[in-house]
């Protein structure tokens, strides 16, 4: 029972709605009962405190959803809660590396590890993860070099990139990555993306699994926005100008998204797409504004060895 309590998500839409309803209820009690309490001084004092607490709690939940400081009750009450890494760490710049690993779910994979991953001083740090949907091997796509440059220019925090061949495999490596790599386990720590002209559909993946990803960038494909409220999700719908269907799909998503989903449309000239499997610098910059910094917490991971 305690485990279930500690696992309650503090950054979910359901929790936010519950807290908001509680705040509205306490404010209603304050207004309706102001002149009706048998003991007015006590009744007014208690109802006023509850109403103020409801407002403060709602503001705290909204702030927590934005920063994902405490994703669960367990993280909130932990003796050593995860803390954001301080501004700029000494190993923020440098050359990352692409390593080949195997996961039980997908088999052979390539993973980009930022320079900070090998720093002994950051052995307790857990890194955000970008799942990259592309059939082009990571070490041949040029993505690693662009990641190094973006991290060195402080346009991107140090993140790991797990290359998966298709949308069907996206999400399948999540638990493996959390156990085997020093990957963040919270929703804010995971995003999914792919090349502007790629055949993968990162937006479809994120919309099918909105509880797993905080951001997605890539071709819209046949993605459909949900009609019911969901956790906040940032989408970058990309397309090349010579593919009318992709442009139309991107514009369709951008037209009328629900309030909890922010959609940005990005159409590029095909000559600027960079070739099959390439990463567009503007897409990396968009991701850099949304991908999280490493965090330090009590969890320990063996990491990869190569």
Q: What domains lie within the chain, and their CATH numbers?
A: 2-77 (no CATH), 89-296 (3.40.50.1820)
- Each residue's pLDDT, cut to its tens digit, for the chain (306 residues) gives 434 454 566 767 778 888 888 888 888 888 888 888 787 788 888 888 888 888 888 888 887 665 555 656 655 554 334 444 433 344 455 788 999 888 777 778 899 999 888 887 777 888 999 999 888 888 888 888 999 988 888 888 899 999 888 777 777 788 888 888 889 988 889 999 988 766 678 888 888 888 889 999 988 777 777 766 567 888 888 877 777 777 777 777 766 667 778 888 777 766 655 444 445 778 888 888 888 888 875 443 434 444
- Whether the full predicted model's pTM is greater than 0.75, yes or no, is no
Pairing of strands 261-268, 215-219: unpaired
Output the furthest CA–CA distance in the chain (Å, rounded). 77
Cα separations (Å) of 210 from 9, 144, 256, 261?
14, 27, 18, 10
> How would DSSP label each residue in 227-296?
SS--S-EEEEEEEETT-HHHHHHHHHHHHS--TTEEEEEEEE-GGGS-STT---HHHHHHHHTTSPPPEE
């Amino acid at each position: 029972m305690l485990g279930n309590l500690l696992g309650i998500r503090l950054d979910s839409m359901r929790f936010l709605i519950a807290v908001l309803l509680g705040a509205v209820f306490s404010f209603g009690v304050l207004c309706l009962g102001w002149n009706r309490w048998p003991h007015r001084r006590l009744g007014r004092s208690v109802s006023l405190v509850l109403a103020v607490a409801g407002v403060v709690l709602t503001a705290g939940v909204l702030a927590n959803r934005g920063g994902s400081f405490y994703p669960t009750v367990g993280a909130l009450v932990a003796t050593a809660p995860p803390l954001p890494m301080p501004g700029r760490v000494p190993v923020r710049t440098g050359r990352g590396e692409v390593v080949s690993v195997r996961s039980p779910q997908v088999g052979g994979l390539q993973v980009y590890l930022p320079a900070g991953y090998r720093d002994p001083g950051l052995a307790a740090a857990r890194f955000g993860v970008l799942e990259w949907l592309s059939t082009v091997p990571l070490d041949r796509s040029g993505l690693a070099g662009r990641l190094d440059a973006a991290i060195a220019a402080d346009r991107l925090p140090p993140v790991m990139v797990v290359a998966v061949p298709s949308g069907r495999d996206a999400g399948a490596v999540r638990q493996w990555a959390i156990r085997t790599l020093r990957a963040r386990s919270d929703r804010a720590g995971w995003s999914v993306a792919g090349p502007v002209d790629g055949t993968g559909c990162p937006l479809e993946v994120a919309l099918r699994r909105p509880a797993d990803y905080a951001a997605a960038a890539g071709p819209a494909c046949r993605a459909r926005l949900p009609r019911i409220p969901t956790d906040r999700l940032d989408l970058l719908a990309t397309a090349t100008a010579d593919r009318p269907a992709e442009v139309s799909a991107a514009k369709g998503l951008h037209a009328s998204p629900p309030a909890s989903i922010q959609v940005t449309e990005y159409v590029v000239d095909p000559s600027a797409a960079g070739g099959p499997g390439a990463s567009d610098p503007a897409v990396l910059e968009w991701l850099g504004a949304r991908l999280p910094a490493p965090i330090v917490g009590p969890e320990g991971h063996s990491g990869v060895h190569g």
